[in-house]
Structure 1
Amino acid sequence: MERIMHYIWQHRLFVRPGLATVSGQRLSVIDPGTANNDSGPDFFNAKVKIGPQTWAGNVEIHIRASDWFRHNHHTDSAYDSVVLHVVGIDDSRIQRPDGSEIPQFVMPYTPEIEMSYRRLASEAGGQMPCLAHAIQMPPIAIQSWIDALAYERLYDKSARMLNLLKRYNGDWETVAYIATARALGFGINAEPFERLATSLPLSIIRKHADSLLSVEAMLFGQAGLLPDETAAPGHYTAALKNEYAHMANKFRLTPLQSPGWKMARTRPGNFPHRRIALLASMLHGGFSLMSKLTAVRTPEQASALFQPALSAYWQNRFSFTQTKPQQQNASEHPAMSRQSTDIVVINTVAPLLHAWGTVTSCCQAQETAVELLQQIKPENNSLTRRFTDAGIKCPDAFTSQALIQLFRCYCETRKCLYCRIGHSHMRSELRQHAPQTNNR
């Protein structure tokens, strides 16, 4: 309940004509102050007018006024500067050490408001009742929130790239290599792919980038996916095993322990074997993705960067033991569909360009990152469908990224009070249920 009271105070949702303290003095809130997440009063540097006097200081909020004593604030000098005590229930008077009484205000608050919040938060990851309210909000309000969420997600991903850049001492190509590997995991295998890339430094791969067999052997060996001879006999698999044994001895490589590859209920085209073969083809001959990204201007150019020609063995295989239908012209059937490469572009190219623009102060790169997202078709998955089925339009990847951010960072984490949709929903609930006056 106190959390909701903090929210109501911070956003001034209680403000209406006729506010007064419990002693009957007229109250005007000029500035609710800055929320304090550490020890001390709940809000710093507030400004309120009580009667004819304007006060600047701190505000403390409690469900019951007597909580002041239960929390031992009367023995803590940090609370001597409190100019207003906001409470849900007025059951005690509070005095400063000098004997003066701290003005007290009973917040307009009812049990129905708390029930509304709990119902909203408890269902945030499921039925999401706020969506019915969302489609009734002004379109400009929804669009503004979507824009903010899309940029929030892009900045989060960009920050991740910058952290990798710091970790790898400014090596942009290594950052691009790790980011690409992770993106090829398509969520379900993202973590194992990133672990694979970090276990096999780009500096080692570069030493043997002229040999596709060597690159494939190191990747499959590190991934722990090299088959035994009985499961996949043949010259190619035997050559891979021999080559990996040589490379592991030369560079002291150790395969990933419990990599966690997921293949159950996964489409064969998304098996890690085929994605690793694709990554090997990108690394073959030298990896220079970052230098190519800076010249990208369209989704087509970006997508082409992730469509290398697979080796003959992998053109018609999903794994070492599962083949795919033969194709007359393999060049007409790329390693990944355009929909899949778009997802890689969303998760790799846009964040890398934005991060690069941040470091180099290149606004053009950051603008291109946004423009790419606005030109790519929206992601169609269970998360985005939650919102589109409710009537929220999703015309592009910029919007679908916003909706994913909304669900992952606000709905799943029950941060309804920090979501503009949840905020609007709670405001309407407050108008409906809050008492008209707090006068005693």
Structure 2
Amino acid sequence: MEQLLHYLWKYRLYRPSGLTTTQGDTLEIIDPGLENTDAGPDFFNAKIRINGTVWAGSVEIHQKASDWLAHGHSADKAYGNVILHVVETDDGTVFRQNGEAIPQLVLPVPEQVIDNMEWLLTRDSPVACLERLPAIDPVFRLQWMDALLAERLERKTDDILRWLDLYQKDWNEVFYILLCRNFGFGVNSDAFERLARSLPLKCILKQRPSASQVEALFLGQAGLLNDSTGNRHHYYRLLQQEYSFLRKKYGLEPLEPHIFRNLRLRPDATPHIKLVELAAIWIRHDTLFSSVLSARTPRELKDFFRVPASAFWDTHYNFLRPSPHRKKQLGENALNMLLINTVVPLMFAYGLYHRMDEHKARALRLLASIPPEQNSIISLFSQVGMKPRNAGDTQALIQLKRNYCEQKKCLYCRLGFQLLKP
């Protein structure tokens, strides 16, 4: 309930007139102040008027008045400038460290807010308010979508900047790790990231003149060249020999192959195929991140990743399973996913880090040029008319579902705000 009081106070969802303190003084809320996310009172720079006198300072909110003492605020100098104590239950008077009584307001929660809150939080639905979303002004929804997209890009940027610190500001290495992770396409993303962290980019770039050695590095490091039975194609034995040499040269320790999942994957999406497609990209490009930053069109960007694997894989899904003759390379949907999850976040983070607004703007333009993603989250919102226009919208809806709906953060969602207010 204390969280709900914070919400009511922050957004002024209370009767604005006729307020009085528990001491019987007339009270007017001029400004509820700014929410404090650090230590100290809940809101600062608030402004109120009591019996005609204006006060400026902090506001503290508790479910019960006695929580002030229970939390030790009466002995804490940080709470010495509190001008109002907001509570649901008045079970005592509270005092500052100097012994002065603090004005106190019992803030009633409107019945409609309580009913709406209970309805939202007890709904057994992937999106509690889904059926009510069509009633919200479409302009308001679009504004929230823009904010959600910004949130998602900021979260991805934070991850990238942490990696940048970990890898001594090496953008090429960070790009390599993120690209490898996203080649796992969800089901194998963690495994592909582990592989990238265990196989430095410098090892791959040094062996670029030999396509078989680059393939050997990726497949061998994934533990997919460990079979010693000899019942394999001659190309397998070649890669096995190459990796044995390179493992000693670079001091590599291969991963356990069981971390890479194959179950229920299409043949073209199995780890073998994705790893050799990834190898093909690095065989062709040695300055890939620089090329990505300077690319002018989505087509140019996609061409960097639209690289066929070596000839052996034209007729194989793995070393034992043959396939119809066809070049193994990323399709259009996979290319779009790489742009959304790799190129856009890296370009945006690079622009933010170097204060180059053009890179951030290009990242947003790129998202707007990519068709909407197709997944269960997008289908859910499309049912009620929230159909995305482009990949920027789908990224916003994914942020909404995962960071608000699934975590029941209706109080922090602007759509929830519209539905909760009386």
| TM-aligned CA deviation for residue 122 of structure 1 | 4.9
- Seen in structure 2, the aligned counterparts of structure 1 residues 352 and 242 have a Cα distance that, compared at 3 Å, is same
The question of 1:412 aligning with 2:406 is answered yes
Show the counterpart of 1:337: 331
Q: Are 2:221 and 2:254, in contact at CA under 8 Å, matched by a contact in 1? A: yes
SS of the equivalent of 2:341 reads helix
Pick closer, same or farther for the CA change 1:145–1:242 going to 2, 3 Å: same
Native 8 Å contact 2:233 2:319 kept in 1: no
Aligned counterpart, 2:55: 55
Distance in 1, matches of 2:394 and 2:97, equals 56
State the one-letter code of the partner of 2:163: L
Alignment of 1:270-289 (within 5 A): 270-289=269-288
CA drift of 1:37 comes to 4.0
Take 1:70 and 1:159, find their aligned partners in 2: how far apart are those partners? 37
2:291 alignment partner in structure 1: 292
Among the aligned pairs, what percent are the same residue? 40
The alignment's TM-score, normalised by the length of structure 1, stands at 0.88
| Worse overlay, 75-84 or 47-56 | 75-84
2:218 alignment counterpart: 219
Q: How does 1:292-311 map to 2 (within 5 A)?
A: 292-311=291-310
Give me the whole-angstrom Cα distance separating, in 1, the residues matched to 2:209 and 2:314: 20
- Structure 1 segments unaligned to the other structure (5+ residues): 432-440
Tell me if the contact between 2:21 and 2:27 (Cα under 8 Å) persists in the aligned partners: yes
Determine the structure 2 residue equivalent to 1:206.
205
What is the CA distance between 1:198 and its match in structure 2? 1.5
| Mapping for residues 126-141 of structure 1, pairs under 5 Å | 126-141=125-140
Counterpart Cα distance in 2 of 1:129 and 1:285: 48
Structure 2 residue aligned with 1:187: 186
Q: Does residue 1:349 correspond to 2:343, yes or no?
A: yes
Q: Which residue of 2 aligns with 1:35?
A: 35
Task: Please state if 1:426 is matched with 2:390.
Answer: no
Q: Report the alpha carbon displacement of residue 35 of structure 1 after superposing the two structures with TM.
A: 2.7
Contact kept? 1:210, 1:286, Cα under 8 Å = no
Distance 2:79 2:150 in 1: 39
Task: Indicate yes or no: 2:234 matched with 1:235.
Answer: yes
Task: Report if aligned partners of 1:227, 1:237 keep a CA contact under 8 Å in 2.
Answer: no
Provide the rounded CA distance (Å) in 2 between the counterparts of 1:343 and 1:363: 23
Distance 2:41 2:99 in 1: 19
Report the equivalent of 2:92: 92
For the pair 1:8 / 2:2, whether they are aligned, the reply is no
Write the distance in 2 (CA, Å) between the matches of 1:273 and 1:98. Answer: 71
| Alpha-carbon shift at residue 40 of structure 1 (Å) | 3.6
CA distance in 1, matches of 2:359, 2:69: 57
Shift in Å, 1:15 = 4.3
Q: Is the 8 A contact 1:229 1:238 kept in 2?
A: no
CA distance 1:37–1:188, change in 2 (3 Å) = same
Report the number of matched residues.
Answer: 422
Matched, 1:108 2:108: yes
Q: Distance in 1 between matches of 2:284 and 2:336?
A: 24
Distance 2:248 2:100 in 1: 79
Q: Which whole-Å deviations, capped at 9, do the CAs of 1:98-151 have from their partners, x for residues lacking one?
A: 664322211121576445324424548x33222233221111111111111112
Q: Confirm or deny: 8 A CA contact 2:309 2:329 kept in the other structure.
A: yes
Letter in 2 for 1:26: T
What is the rounded CA distance, in whole Å, between the counterparts of 1:232 and 1:176 in structure 2? 37
Q: Which amino acid aligns with 2:346?
A: L
Shift of 1:222: 0.8
**Partner letter of residue 91 of structure 2?**
D
User: Deviation per CA, 1:347-399, whole angstroms, max 9, x where unpaired?
Assistant: 11112222232344333222211111111111111122221122202111010
Question: Does residue 22 in structure 1 map to residue 16 in structure 2?
Answer: no
TM-score between the two structures when normalised by the length of structure 2: 0.92
Match of 2:120 in 1: 120
Give the drift of 1:310: 1.2
Cα distance change, pair 98–136 in 1 and its aligned pair in 2 (3 A): same
SS of residue matched to 1:59: strand
CA contact (8 A) 2:232 2:319 kept: no
Q: Quote the Cα distance in structure 2 between the aligned partners of 1:343 and 1:107.
A: 48
**1: CA distance between counterparts of 2:352 and 2:97?**
52
Letter in 2 for 1:145: W
Deviation, structure 1 residue 180? 1.2
How far 1:175 moved relative to its partner? Answer: 2.2
Is 1:401–2:400 an aligned residue pair? no
